[in-house]
Chain A
Amino acid sequence: MIKAKDLTYEYIRVMETDHGTKEEKVSALKQVNMEIEQGDFIAVLGHNGSGKSTFAKQINALLQPTGGTLWVKDMDTKNDALVWDIRQTAGMVFQNPDNQLVATVVEEDIAFGPENMGVEPKEIRRRVDEALATVRMEEYATHTPSKLSGGQKQRIAIAGVLAMKPDCIVLDEPTAMLDPVGRREVMETIERLNKEEGITMILITHYMDEAVRADKVFVIDDGDLVMQGTPREIFSQVEELKKYGLDVPQVTEVAYLLRKEGIDLPADILTIEEMVGAVCQLKSTI
Chain B
Amino acid sequence: MIRDITIGQYYPAESPIHRLDARVKIVVTFLYIVSLFIVNTIMGYVIVTALLGVVIHASKVPVKFMLRGLKSIIIIILFTAVINLFMTRGDHILWSWKFLTITTEGLYMAIKMCVRLVLLIVGSSLMTLTTTPIQLTDGIEYLLRPLKKIGVPAHEIAMMMTIALRFIPTLLDETDKIMKAQQARGADFDTGNMIQKAKSLIPILVPLFISAFRRAEELAMAMEARCYHGDENRTRMNVMRMRGRDYRAAVMTAVYLCVVVGLRIAAGHLTFMI
Contact = CB atoms under 8 A, between A and B. Distances in A.
B96 interface: no
B162 A104 contact: yes
A121 B239 contact: yes
Contact of B235 (A96, A98, A103, A121): A121
B234 A116 contact: yes
Interface string B131-172: 011100000000000000000000000000011011001100
Interface in A39-94: 60, 62, 84, 87-88, 91-92, 94
Contact of B226 (A98, A99, A112, A128): A112
A121 B236 contact: yes
A101 B226 CA distance: 11
What secondary structure prevails in chain A residues at the interface with B? Answer: helix
A283 B227 CA distance: 58
A100 B219 contact: yes
What secondary structure prevails in chain B residues at the interface with A? Answer: helix
Interface string B18-47: 000000000000000000000000000000
A222 interface: no
Interface string B162-186: 1101100110010000000000000
A116 B165 contact: no
Interface in B209-226: 214-215, 218-219, 221-226
Given A91-B226, A121-B235, A121-B239, A145 B221 contact: no
A108 B237 CA distance: 8
Contacts, number: 98
8 contacts: A62-B224, A91-B225, A94-B218, A104-B134, A112-B223, A121-B235, A121-B238, A145-B166
A120 interface: yes
B238 A116 contact: no
B191 interface: no
Contacts of B133: 104
A255 interface: no
Contacts of A112: 223, 226, 228
A241 to B, nearest CB: 29
A161 interface: yes
B271 interface: no
Contact of B222 (A94, A103, A105): A94
A128 B133 CA distance: 20
Contacts of A271: none
